[in-house]
């Protein structure tokens, strides 16, 4: 099997911005992380919403989505039995599934899937920027109107961020807008994030300046990543988000010991080799 070319996705861009060491441990060292209940719930709800659109329009009801939830979960468990450790017992699992039903119930207050026919679901997008990084990602949903107008939809199973936050989500959606414009030859008219915990919506209408700024940001960020790789130095960046990090045992900020950097792993992951290695 051929090796995938080094690339930048919105999630990995967010990792490096949050903490270069966390990025290194995920991308270069590929340290396994224990799944979290919240992230797994997000994956489950996304799967239900993706496959809901496999049904005829008349069957895309809240009851159908609810009925799909547990079978989708059992399918996830069959692929990864380790996920069973997320729940102490059947009661905890039932409460967790009830949270999923709550997210789906909120979704049906925000959209009527019987009136939608997506042009793409979990759509893989990949674009090589000239003299820049390879960009890639998965878009939850792409809608195309009869007049050709494009809307990008992203489902978030958390709550709506406060106005002073949400930078990561906005970056992600503008990142996708840049890829879609280059790949489809038409700029998305609307970028819409649906927050399924509280029913909030974030709407963006990308402009020339927005996409020029995103292209500048991803080029600059990729240069920073390659600079860290060549120097063999992925520094820590301590913040309030450290409390959710699964790598504290390997982080010097918390008394942990970072494993030695493997130059071959750097080259495999990022296409460059640390100087002197």
In SS3 terms, the chain reads as CCCCCCCECHHHHHHHHHCHHHHHHHHCCCCCCCCCHHHHHHHHHHHHHHHHCCCCHHHCCHHHHHHHHHHHHHHHHHHCHHHHHHCCCHHHHHHHHHHHHHHHHHHHHHCCHHHCCCCEEEEEEEEECCCCCEEEEEEEEEEECCCCCEEEEEEECCCCCCCCCCHHHHHHHHHHHHHHHHHHCCCCCEEEEEECCCCEEEEECCCHHHHHHHHHHHHHHHHHHHHHHHHCCCCCCCCHHHHHCCCHHHCHHHCCCCCCCCHHHHHHHHCCCCCCC
Residues 6 or more apart in contact with residue 226 via CB below 8 angstroms: 270, 272
Query: Please, which residues bridge with residue 155 across strands?
Result: 194
Quick count: other Cβ atoms within 10 Å of Cβ 88?
8
How long is the chain?
277
Indicate the average pLDDT of the chain.
95
**What is the average pLDDT across 159-185?**
91
pTM given for the model: 0.92
Q: What is the pLDDT of residue 1?
A: 43
Query: Please, which residues bridge with residue 96 across strands?
Result: none
pLDDT for residue 163 is more than 90: no
Joined tokens for residue 178: 């840049």
For residue range 217-232, list pLDDT tens digits in order. Answer: 999 999 999 999 999 9
Q: Per-residue confidence at 165, pLDDT binned at 50, 70, 90? A: confident
Q: What is the pLDDT of residue 277?
A: 72
Q: Per-residue confidence at 263, pLDDT binned at 50, 70, 90? A: very high
Please give the C-alpha separations between residue 11 and each of 138, 221, 262, in angstroms, as whole numbers.
10, 13, 23
pLDDT for residue 162 is more than 90: no
Joined tokens for residue 269: 């992951």
For residue range 67-93, list pLDDT tens digits in order. Answer: 999 999 999 999 999 999 999 999 999
Q: Per-residue confidence at 66, pLDDT binned at 50, 70, 90? A: very high
Q: ∠ at Cα 199 (195, 201), nearest 5°?
A: 60
Joined tokens for residue 122: 């979990």
Asked whether 259 and 51 are in contact (CB, 8 A), the reply is: no
Q: What is the pLDDT of residue 86?
A: 95
């Amino acid at each position: 099997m051929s090796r995938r070319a080094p690339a930048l996705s919105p999630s990995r861009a967010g990792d490096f911005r949050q903490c270069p060491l966390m990025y290194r441990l995920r991308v270069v060292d590929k340290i396994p992380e224990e799944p979290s209940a919240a992230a797994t719930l997000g994956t489950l709800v996304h799967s239900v919403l993706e496959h809901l659109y496999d049904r005829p329009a008349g069957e895309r009801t809240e009851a159908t989505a609810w009925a799909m939830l547990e079978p989708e979960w059992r399918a996830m468990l069959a692929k990864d039995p380790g996920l069973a450790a997320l729940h102490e017992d059947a009661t905890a699992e039932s409460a967790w599934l009830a949270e999923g039903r709550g997210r789906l119930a909120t979704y049906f207050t925000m959209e009527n899937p019987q009136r939608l026919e997506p042009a793409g679901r979990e759509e893989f997008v990949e674009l090589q920027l000239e003299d820049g990084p390879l960009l890639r990602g998965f878009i939850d949903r792409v809608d195309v109107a009869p007049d050709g107008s494009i809307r990008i939809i992203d489902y978030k199973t958390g709550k709506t961020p406060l106005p002073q936050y949400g930078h990561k989500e906005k970056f992600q959606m503008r990142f996708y807008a840049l890829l879609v414009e280059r790949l489809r030859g038409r700029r998305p008219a609307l970028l819409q994030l649906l927050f399924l915990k509280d029913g909030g919506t974030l709407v963006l209408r990308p402009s020339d300046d927005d996409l020029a700024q995103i292209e500048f940001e991803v080029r600059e960020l990729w240069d920073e990543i390659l600079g860290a790789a060549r120097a063999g130095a992925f520094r820590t960046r301590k913040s309030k988000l450290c409390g959710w990090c699964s790598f504290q045992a390997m982080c010097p900020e918390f008394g942990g010991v970072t494993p030695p950097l493997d130059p071959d792993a750097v080259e495999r992951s990022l296409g460059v080799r640390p100087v002197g290695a």
